[in-house]
Amino acid sequence: MRVQYIASACVLIEHANIKVLCDPWLKDGTYYGSWYHYPPLKHKPEDFFDVDYIYISHIHPDHMDLESLKSFPRDIPILIHDYAEKFILKILKGIGFERIIEISHYQVYPLAENFTIEILSADNCDPELCGKFFGCSVLKPYNKTIQIDTLAVFDGSGKTVVNTNDCPYPLSYKVCDYIKQKYNSIDFLMVGYAGAGPFPQCFENLSETEKLKKGEAKQNQFLRQAINYLNHLKPEFFMPFAGQYTLGGKLAKLNKYRGVPVLEELEDLFAPLIKSISLEGEKSKESGHSKMVLLNRGEWFDVETKRPTASFTPSSSMERERYINEVLKKKKFTYEQDEHVIEKSKQKDLTNDLVEAQKKMLSRQDKEGGYRSHWRIYIDAGQDFIYCIPYNGDPVQRVGHGKEIEPYVRITVDYSLLNMILNRKAHWNNAEIGSHLKYYRKPDVFERGIHHFLSYLHC
């Protein structure tokens, strides 16, 4: 079995003359034009038209990039998890894919003779665990996952490769038990080491010094999460991947605050952490600890021979900064394109739209156990007033700037992007991950339910 690193979470897995392309994000400017690759992409979708399967781990655009997928022949089979919610299935059908294979939890799907895949729900289809992680108060028993993340186990001719994608370890430790018990020896683990999202770079109540400090804490948190996977699964080799992105356009100035280390920093960051892991078994006695594999784009690691096709060559930090300043900073976001821009003179009062959106959000709150909160969301879209959306069922109101009532989260968002979100041409979660939303919260406390149910605030 061989693994080729393409970019971020996109890898190609090959065994028995069968090629599986995982999470193809092969066109720049995802998340409404804010996420870019560095180093620049060296592959195009058409380089992979000969693959036998495409595996999509979950719905986020850096894993399920529609602009990339629209370039592929529609007869390539797509492998996805058999989710309770059929969002991915519907989207793939909507863009014309003919063979979408839904794989149930614990189902072993044959790709070829002596080559299989299991697509496992991150929460191990455990509604209690999922409910605790997402903060939902009431969940019905399901035998299908109601959240989005999956991981995949590829097994071929006695070699096992595990792709954890973006699965959070606190959600996935039970499924790790299953993998460890069933497959015993993990030869190659692909593990995320970085967390995308708006924190801390988009939080206006933090100073620059505080953002840098909290970014470092975030970095260490996700490195420790990767170490938890290593400690649990004890692979012979592991490759840090996924979550690798560079912000472009007006958001390029936020890159240094994200708490996302680049590949060339990982050897120094991981080395002291790996030494703390105590491994068991004959293989571990030989190797001492899991060995980290770093690959440049397009290079392969052969799981059989335990060798890469080339040694890792670090990128130049000076060249990275030059590329950001000369190329990425000039990029426009989707909502800055002419077809989406709503000029100031044509911007209307969105109160009525938000009233309808609040009804949908409250309906979802009721569906998930009757969630109510005294917290409020205030939306600042650059108008002469801001919108107040309570989570306790009180009506939506327009209020003056500076008239917020605690506890609250104020979100600053471009008017054109807000209009796209309310009309379902964009989504809160993707806008958040793309760093398009600025937050100010008072008190400075994370209330999970506020952010979870915000995703349902649309018409």
User: Confidence band (pLDDT; 50, 70, 90) for 139?
Assistant: very low
Report the C-alpha gap between 174 and 178 in whole angstroms: 7
Check for a shared fold between 2-329 and 344-454.
Answer: no
Give 188's strand partners. Answer: 161, 237
- The better pLDDT of the pair 132, 202 is held by 202
- Compute the average pLDDT of residues 152-169: 96
Q: What is residue 281's predicted lDDT score, i.e. its pLDDT? A: 41
Higher pLDDT, 289 or 378: 378
- Judged against a pLDDT cut of 90, whether residue 328 lies above it is answered with yes
Is residue 61 within 8 Å of 81, Cβ to Cβ? Answer: no
The answer to whether 258 and 215 are in contact (CB under 8 A) is: yes
Instruction: Give residue 92's Cα distance to chain centre.
Output: 18
First to last CA, the chain: 47
The domain defined by 2-329 folds into: Metallo-beta-lactamase; Chain A (3.60.15)
Strands of 335-396 (E only): list them: 376-380, 386-390
Domain boundaries, the chain: 2-329, 344-454
Q: Mutual orientation of helices 208-233 and 266-274 as an angle, nearest 10°? A: 50
Full-model pTM:
0.92
Three-class DSSP category at 53: strand
Whether the pLDDT of residue 134 is over 70: the answer is no
Write down the pLDDT at residue 125. 61
What percentage of the chain carries pLDDT values higher than 90?
85
Predicted local confidence at residue 272, as pLDDT: 87
Q: Which of 105-109, 134-138, 346-350 has the lowest mean pLDDT?
A: 134-138
Per-residue pLDDT tens for 185-197?
A: 999 999 999 999 9
Strand pairing of 2-7 and 300-302? antiparallel
pLDDT value at position 147? 62
- Tokens for 70? 């629209």
CA–CA distance, 4 with 23 (Å, rounded to integer): 13
- pLDDT number for residue 133: 43
Find the helix packing angle between 169-183 and 127-134, rounded to 10°. Answer: 150
What is the mean predicted confidence (pLDDT) over 234-258? 96
| Mean pLDDT value across residues 231-254 | 96
Q: Which fold has domain 344-454?
A: Nonspecific Lipid-transfer Protein; Chain A (3.30.1050)
Q: Strands, DSSP E only, in 39-145?
A: 53-55, 78-81, 100-103, 109-112, 115-121
